[in-house]
Amino acid sequence: MKIVKFGGSNLKKREDISKLVKVIKSYEKPLIIVISALYGMTDTILSTIEQVNHNYEIIDELKHKLLKAHKDILSDYLFEAEQIQLTFKELENRVELMKRFLLGIHYIGEAPDFVKDHVLSYGERLSAFTLFKILNQLQISCKEATPEEMGLLTDGEFSNASVDFEQSSDQVASFFNEQLIYIVPGFYGISPSGKINLFGRGGSDYSAAAIAKCVKAQSLDLWKDVKGFLSADPKIVPNAWNIKKMSYQEAAELSYFGAEIIHPRAFEPLKADNIPLNLFNIDGDLDDIKPLTVISSKSVKTNYIVKSCSYTNDIGILQLKGPGVGVKPGILADVTNAMKMEGINIKSVLTSQTIISILLSSADLYQAYQLMHRLNVHGINEVALKEDISLIAIVGEGLNDTPGIAAKLFTAISRKKINAKVVSMGVSDVASYIIVDAQQRNDAIKSIHEEFFNEKHR
């Protein structure tokens, strides 16, 4: 069995649906399709949740937006009046259910975690329903299959759950027992207490990977609107090229460090059973379908060693300074525990004798800074922030055991007179990163790409 996943980027315009249908027809049955919400819908629902406390009207505004978007798509495929009426009615009923939750938030004045997760799942519920109705109309035998029906259970962490494979695998595998196409809304599973539970933003990739693991799928095919993984962001390096093969670990590091193609956690469920992840471009030639990047456990070393260079601006450094931070035990534990209690995720930690540098998402930086001031950790006498920085990662199998990689990286940036504020080498087997001033990011990336990939430097 194959798992096919279509993301929001495949669901931007009404016309996109015809491409989806063409792709779906090219697969053999049985098939499991995991689908995201229509493009931008999750953001729209989220901003509604954020405003609904003080804005009652916004509930109906959202309702109309959702209904219009899905009805527009449906009306391209449904023609009989009675059928249109029935389908629209069903859609309206579902949206009405969502509305109740929003009314609840409005009246109690806050959105508890589980309610937020529930409401946000509607983007996927409605797109899955819509695709189901369309395929049905086209006489493609298919079925809606929700995470609640199949028993895709989570660990219960609201807004950021993981699948509990021990509880889920068998029941999910035995659920898919017919020779047809199943359409699964991505993005959520069911918490131990039976509540809707999201896998985090962009989490439909993870849904698809988790289901692939449960059913021991032959492959996971992700359809996106990009040309696979590239050697760099083509907006910065126009001649960046496609990477045909990558290991899970390389792809995970690239995704973690900013390549916004696949959810960084989508690789972890695939590893144990070595289920290949094939990346396809929906805007490519659909009469001659070929994956642009294949990700599997095979680690292939290329001549260049480095395969790709990615970056993220979603990074800030919290610096904790004190004469003895490198030698006094317990400081790091106090700091990281306090951050855990506040729900702040630490991306990376680097320590020296006198400074602990904690890499955080930009959104968490001030909260962490204030927390450190409040906490007044023993041994730390100064807390500082570094912002307006970018993290640039180079990724490739063999990076750590090949001499000269670090030298090349530094040659590349020093040629442009760029200073690396932070450097991390040797921590991961396949990735290293540097942090530079945000304004110097593009120059650094161009120079690094040139240094590693240009013929004359080979």
Size of residue set near ligand ASP by CB under 6 A: 13
Please tell me whether residue 186 binds ligand ASP under the rule CB under 6 A. Answer: yes
Tell me the C-alpha distance between 201 and 198, whole Å. Answer: 8
The residue among 7 and 269 lying less far from Mg ion, judged by its C-beta, is: 7
Stretch that binds Mg ion, among 5-13, 16-24, 292-300, 308-316 (CB under 5 A): 5-13
Tell me the C-alpha distance between 217 and 208, whole Å. Answer: 10
Task: Work out how close the CB of 36 gets to ligand ASP at its nearest, in angstroms, rounded to a whole number.
Answer: 4
Please tell me whether residue 130 binds ligand ASP under the rule CB under 6 A. Answer: no
The residue among 67 and 438 lying less far from ligand ASP, judged by its C-beta, is: 67
The residue among 61 and 260 lying less far from ligand ASP, judged by its C-beta, is: 260
Task: Work out how close the CB of 362 gets to ligand ASP at its nearest, in angstroms, rounded to a whole number.
Answer: 18
The residue among 151 and 200 lying less far from Mg ion, judged by its C-beta, is: 200
Q: Say how many CA atoms lie within 13 Å of 213 toward its Cβ.
A: 21
Tell me the C-alpha distance between 35 and 158, whole Å. Answer: 20
Tell me the C-alpha distance between 90 and 96, whole Å. Answer: 10
241 φ/ψ sector (left φ>0, alpha ψ -120 to 50, else beta): beta
The residue among 176 and 206 lying less far from ligand ASP, judged by its C-beta, is: 206
Please tell me whether residue 316 binds ligand ASP under the rule CB under 6 A. Answer: no
Per-residue interface string for the shown chain with ligand ASP, residues 193-212, x marking contact by CB under 6 A: --------xxxxx-------
Contact 199, 207 (CB under 8 A): yes
Long-range contacts of 323-328 (CB under 8 A, 24+ apart): 323/354, 323/381, 324/353, 324/354, 324/379, 325/351, 325/352, 325/353, 325/354, 325/355, 325/356, 325/379, 325/380, 326/351, 326/352, 326/353, 326/354, 327/353, 328/378, 328/379
Residue 201 touches which of ligand ASP, Mg ion, none (Cβ within 5-8 Å per kind) = ligand ASP
Task: Work out how close the CB of 324 gets to Mg ion at its nearest, in angstroms, rounded to a whole number.
Answer: 46
Question: Six-digit token pair at 190?
Answer: 């069911």
**Binding-site member from 23, 35, 42, 153 for ligand ASP (CB under 6 A):** 42
Tell me the C-alpha distance between 312 and 441, whole Å. Answer: 10
Sequence-distant (≥ 6) Cβ neighbours of residue 422 within 8 angstroms:
317, 350, 357, 359, 434, 435
Nearest to ligand ASP by Cβ — which residue? 204
Contact 318, 385 (CB under 8 A): yes
Task: Work out how close the CB of 7 gets to Mg ion at its nearest, in angstroms, rounded to a whole number.
Answer: 4
Please tell me whether residue 187 binds ligand ASP under the rule CB under 6 A. Answer: yes
**Binding-site member from 2, 4, 6, 7 for Mg ion (CB under 5 A):** 7
Provide the edge-to-edge strand list for the sheet that holds 219-224. Answer: 142-144, 181-185, 31-35, 2-6, 219-224, 277-281, 293-296, 245-247
Please tell me whether residue 175 binds ligand ASP under the rule CB under 6 A. Answer: no
Question: Six-digit token pair at 144?
Answer: 């809606």
Residue 26 has a CB neighbour count (10 Å cut-off) of 10
The residue among 186 and 316 lying less far from ligand ASP, judged by its C-beta, is: 186
Contact 137, 106 (CB under 8 A): no
Question: Six-digit token pair at 89?
Answer: 């009615």
**Binding-site member from 2, 6, 8, 10 for Mg ion (CB under 5 A):** 8
The residue among 203 and 276 lying less far from ligand ASP, judged by its C-beta, is: 203
The residue among 124 and 443 lying less far from ligand ASP, judged by its C-beta, is: 124
Tell me the C-alpha distance between 244 and 124, whole Å. Answer: 30
Interface of this chain with Mg ion, residues 15 to 44, rule: CB under 5 A: 36
Look up residue 309 and give its DSSP letter.
E
Interface of this chain with Mg ion, residues 46 to 85, rule: CB under 5 A: none
Residue 187 touches which of ligand ASP, Mg ion, none (Cβ within 5-8 Å per kind) = ligand ASP
Residue 396 touches which of Mg ion, ligand ASP, none (Cβ within 5-8 Å per kind) = none
Task: Work out how close the CB of 374 gets to Mg ion at its nearest, in angstroms, rounded to a whole number.
Answer: 36
SS3 37: coil
Task: Work out how close the CB of 123 gets to ligand ASP at its nearest, in angstroms, rounded to a whole number.
Answer: 5
What is the Cα 314 distance to its own chain's centre? 14
Please tell me whether residue 36 binds ligand ASP under the rule CB under 6 A. Answer: yes
Please tell me whether residue 269 binds ligand ASP under the rule CB under 6 A. Answer: no
Q: Which residues contact ligand ASP (rule: CB under 6 A)?
A: 7-8, 36-37, 42, 123, 186-187, 201-205
**Where does this chain bind Mg ion (CB under 5 A)?**
7-8, 36, 202
